[in-house]
Chain A
Amino acid sequence: MSTIAMGHAGAEAAPAEKKGLWSWITTVDHKRIGILYGVTAFLFFLLGGLEALLIRWQLGAPDKTFLSPEAYNQLFTMHGTTMIFLGVMPLSAMFFNYFIPLLIGARDVAFPRLNAYSYWVFLFGGLVLNSSFLFNAAPDMGWFAYANLTSKQFSPGLNVDFWIIGLQILGIASLAAAVNFFVTIINLRAPGMKMMRMPMFVWMSLITQVLLLLAFPIITVALVLLMLDRSFGTHFFVPSGGGDPVLWQHLFWLFGHPEVYILILPAFGVVSEILPVFSRKPLFGYAAMVFSGCFIAFLGFGVWSHHMFSTGMGPMADTVFSLGTMLIAIPTGVKIFNWIGTVWGGSIQYKTPMYFALGFVAMFIIGGLSGVMHASPPADLQQTDSYFIVAHFHYVLFGGSIFALTAGAYYWFPKMTGRMLSESLGKVHFWLMFLGFNLTFAPMHILGLNGMPRRVYTYSAGMGFEFWNAVETAGSLILGFSFLIFIWNILKSLKSGEVATADPWHGATLEWSIPSPPQEWNFAVEPTVDGRDPLWELRRARGGTLPEPARVSGKGIHLPSPSYWPIVTAFGTALTLVGFLMHVTLWVILLGVAITMLGIFSWAFEPADH
């Protein structure tokens, strides 16, 4: 029998919340850091969306001059980079931060101050990357930055340097966070929560951390080599000195393909939490879901060259990477079928989170199927670098990740804020987003197959691309508008939304056993679990209803103290790398290193307790 403290008797008045800017700057509470991640990432996401709308406006009609070629190239590069590194990844990190400890019954992550450090480094990285706009030197060579276009000879400006340094800073944040969450999940599970009892979101998060730990070092090294080429005159990717631009492609996709799963696996996890709750039955095929996730991640490291079929690798390499890629369709299919198995025979509650989760399943199927098509090199030789690919990965990343993360936002908003999001606005949001999304991205399949290449700032009249591009632009406006409704919903609900109970959805997992929003220590009494859906088991044992958990004083609960050393150390880290950006300015680098060392030492010797 699970022991989960509910309706704590003799509850005392909760102490006043810590308030003010300083409390946010020095916070080490995983929930606050989660909110910081969420707000920051959402703002970056909106910026990336704005970039997308400008791109779409330019492409709405042939031969438009709304954007100059240079501006367009900066915008599409920054759109991709922003959405991946500053949008989807940190939005996932919001859920990692806020919910991994809650889902596994812990009071915080393993290293609260390291967690704060990750956030601040991420913030500084995002700011450095976007500050390039102020210097009119935003990265303009695509998020993949293929050599040798990135060499000093062909990209003399600071554009590429901003990209390198921005990504390096962000990579440090990702790696620090990955160590933290990996250890948290392995070591801080509540008593009784065996690995095979963890909520699916936690499992998918765990796999994501492993991918981060193994993939980010590769791009870090690749970026270092590129920086050395540009700033110190080496020739790693410069043909005139014997370097090979194709090596960059290998290194980039060795990182880049696992990165795709870093973006989608958390989404799989979110949906796997939501579908059971709103179908009122457990996740179908739990073990199959776990193993298919592991299998996808494992294969994800062996298929990078399917991004490079058009480079002419030879028939053997093409065959091997093609078959490997097709294999990934199998565990992915297993996941989709198990999601359908979850809703099958259920009693589906059509709440907004369920709308988005089901939208995810429906759209992800399309992205998966088009993916199988270009797993075949002959088909890919026509499809690669065409709008067909743009359609494919938007069905996976938007139809997949963004739909799922939005589902997660509607699902967990009550827990995070204590307020429900409006259901009616939520459904308007869903239908507009669904419509806008499909109008924007479905026609890209047609355009791609009919010869429209990617990354073009315009196209000529007479190529036949006019009609569908106009439709896509109209769709993108609807899509953009749907997010205005989302923002309105958030602001309105924060102010006057229905007050959320601890468990508004009749959830199955531990976060619903504590007040909304949770108190600083999460669990007044450490829970123990003996099943996969601990709260459902408890509810059954208690005859169907659970008392509302009370807020308690938390006297005697040990919590880590706030600290400003994480932000200091993060600043030092970012400054060191900015020194490299500024044409290798030695004093800036040394100052950065000094601040970082000061931060680390002060951090290490700072008393952790009050």
Chain B
Amino acid sequence: MALRLPSLRRVVRWVPALCFTLAVLALAGCAPDGYPQTTLAPKADFAELLDQVFRRSFQLATIVFFLVEGVLIWALFRYRGKPGDAEPAQTHGNAMLEVVWTVIPAVILVFIAIPTIQTIFKTAEVPTDNPLVIEVTGHQWWWEFRYPEYNLVTAGDMHVPTGRTVDLRMTTGDVVHSFWTPQLAGKRDVFPGRDNRLWFRTETAGVYPGQCAEFCGTQHARMAFQVVAQDSAAFVAWREGLAAVSAPVAAPAPADSAAATAVDPLVAQGQQLFAAKACVGCHAVTAVGAPTMVGPNLAGVGSRTTIASGWLPNTDENLTRWLKNPQAVKVGVLMPNLGLTDEETTALVAYLRSLSVVPAPGAVAMTAAGN
């Protein structure tokens, strides 16, 4: 072995400092700011567990990377041949070195394997701390969320309370999907006829985007959802509001009541159209005990963050585009073009907007204006 030890010693002196600097720079390059769907800023216990293992392996890998690439590049400069060079020493190998560079990686791997195995078993535990069970069902291409505890169903936005573990029971209505909210938990695939599990508990209120992570057909890219984490008071207000949402003019209110005066004729027209234009064939508008239908449950759709499965902001303009020609907005979606006129669309938008979760009386106008 033509080991030029003096020069190697010189290198060894500045290697650790360099490695550290570069590792910091590398992590900075991946900084999660500005990435709402990042895995690097966990906001729930499950994601936190995963992140710890990742950071350990990333740090070790970074050190190995700079050491090995450093040695390689150094050798490439040090041993560049010049014309007329004599034949270099014909070394064939070194048994001691082979042992060393077999053992060192093995030792490094032990430091990754230990937290890995600990975390595998920790994340496989079944939560027992009175978790909130949510049944998640993937559909081509939207997500359905059921709350058996409250007999509620919704879609697109999954509301969860902060400070309480959420226990997800997951399956699919058609093909394989994968449920992924990077800031809260890792991926879990959903299979027909299987009940896959995932859990997390977040202490931080906020809206966390997620999306399907297993290719599931034409609109795989547009199969997103939001997890809306709320403190328990807001969560209770939401679920009570959702339970209360139903067709606003279904039951004629007393003529002198405030509610009756609030009913917009446009909304009433929209409600009639909803029934007449076959919307009801695929969509339910009550959240309590509603069965799974072809399309997402629309109770509370007016106050959801997004439409068309988690990616189109829930504005009147988008809703209009969507109703007029769903295929133009999202090719391949099951919802047909009903050939609505402008007038009909306006009425339907007004009706759907009225299907809002209203935490307190008087907030209707605010919600609508806010969107």
Q: List the interface of chain A (C-beta within 8 A of B).
A: 68-70, 73, 141-142, 146-149, 154, 239, 245-246, 279-282, 284-288, 310-312, 314-315, 318-319, 322-323, 326-327, 329-330, 333-334, 336-338, 340-341, 343-350, 358, 361-362, 365-366, 369-370, 372-373, 375-386, 445-446, 449-460, 462-465
Contacts and interface: CB of A to CB of B under 8 A. Distances in A.
B215 A312 contact: no
B188 A310 contact: yes
Given A245-B191, A369-B65, A282 B81 contact: no
Given A457-B221, A460-B311, A450 B32 contact: yes
Contacts of B80: 348, 350
Contacts of B217: 73, 141, 149, 154
Given A279-B79, A280-B87, A287-B93, A366 B221 contact: no
5 interchain residue pairs of minimum CB distance: A381-B186, A451-B37, A345-B2, A456-B221, A347-B81
A533 to B, nearest CB: 9
A56 to B, nearest CB: 15
B175 A149 contact: yes
B202 to A, nearest CB: 16
B113 A326 contact: yes
Nearest to B41: A450
B39 A378 contact: no
A446 B29 CA distance: 8
B193 interface: yes
B92 A284 contact: yes
Interface of B: 1-3, 29-30, 32, 34-40, 47, 49-51, 53-54, 57-58, 61, 64-65, 68-69, 71-73, 75-76, 79-82, 85-94, 97-98, 101-102, 105-106, 109, 112-113, 115-117, 119-121, 123-124, 140, 174-176, 178, 180, 182, 185-189, 191-194, 196-197, 209, 211-222, 224, 311, 331-332
Contact of B50 (A149, A311, A382, A460): A382
26 contacts: A141-B215, A310-B213, A312-B188, A312-B197, A318-B120, A319-B117, A334-B101, A341-B93, A343-B72, A347-B81, A347-B86, A358-B72, A358-B76, A369-B61, A372-B57, A376-B112, A378-B53, A378-B116, A379-B50, A381-B123, A382-B51, A385-B187, A451-B37, A458-B221, A458-B222, A463-B209
Contacts of A310: 178, 186-189, 213-214
Given A344-B2, A375-B112, A451-B36, 8 more contacts: A239-B193, A246-B191, A280-B81, A285-B98, A345-B79, A378-B49, A378-B53, A451-B38
Contacts of B224: 460
A343 B216 contact: no
A378 B180 CA distance: 14
Given A149-B175, A445-B30, A311 B191 contact: yes
A318 B79 CA distance: 44
Contacts of A349: 81
Contacts of B64: 369
Of A338, A344, A348, the most chain B CB neighbours within 10 A belong to A344
Contacts of A330: 102, 105-106, 109
A346 B81 contact: yes
Contact of B36 (A449, A454, A464): A464
Contacts of A445: 30
B37 A378 contact: no
Nearest to A76: B215
A228 B43 CA distance: 46
A6 to B, nearest CB: 20
B87 A376 contact: no
A361 B81 contact: no
A464 B34 contact: yes
A598 to B, nearest CB: 42
